[in-house]
Amino acid sequence: MAQITKNSLRDGVWTGTVDGLEEGAEIAVMLHEETVDHVTVSADGDSHTISVPLPPHRLGMGVNTFLVMSGDDKIGAFTLIAGDLAGDDLRAEVDLLRAELDMLKKAFRRHLRETM
């Protein structure tokens, strides 16, 4: 079974490493149920490096999930989130995590005072 390791996203090109790819298997990347053009796959020993140029004309606000396929099997995915909504959600999550961390710090300090 093939597995993907996500490597980088630079200059509009996502790269990953595919391990366990069967001999002669073809890789396709899908976005919104359409094939992404200009995907390259190069052999590197037992693994393969996949490069996916992100199509700016097909990206939009919200969540954009790219599916990496080998035949009819999904072997991986990567997601891009864009727009104000994403920023608000992330800020809200960080604020929530900070509040929970502050609560844990207070409880831990109280526990230390009570046990010493």
Domain that holds residue 21: 3-82
Instruction: Point out which residues pair with 80 in neighbouring strands.
Output: 64
Q: Would you state the pLDDT for residue 85?
A: 63
Q: Would you state the pLDDT for residue 12?
A: 94
Residues of the chain with pLDDT under 70: 84-88, 92
Q: Would you state the pLDDT for residue 112?
A: 94
- Based on the fold, state whether residues 59 and 13 are members of the same structural domain: yes
- Based on the fold, state whether residues 11 and 42 are members of the same structural domain: yes
The amino acid at residue 97 is: L
- Based on the fold, state whether residues 67 and 25 are members of the same structural domain: yes
Tell me how far apart the alpha carbons of residues 50 and 15 are, in angstroms, rounded to a whole number.
6
- Based on the fold, state whether residues 19 and 72 are members of the same structural domain: yes
- Based on the fold, state whether residues 20 and 67 are members of the same structural domain: yes
Please count the structural domains in the chain.
2
Say if pTM beats, i.e. exceeds, 0.85.
Answer: no
Q: Would you state the pLDDT for residue 87?
A: 63
What CATH number is given to the structural domain containing 71? 2.60.40.1130
DSSP per-residue letters across 8-45: EEETTEEEEEEESPPTT--EEEEETTEEPSS-EEEEET
Q: Would you state the pLDDT for residue 64?
A: 86
Q: Would you state the pLDDT for residue 59?
A: 85
- Based on the fold, state whether residues 76 and 109 are members of the same structural domain: no
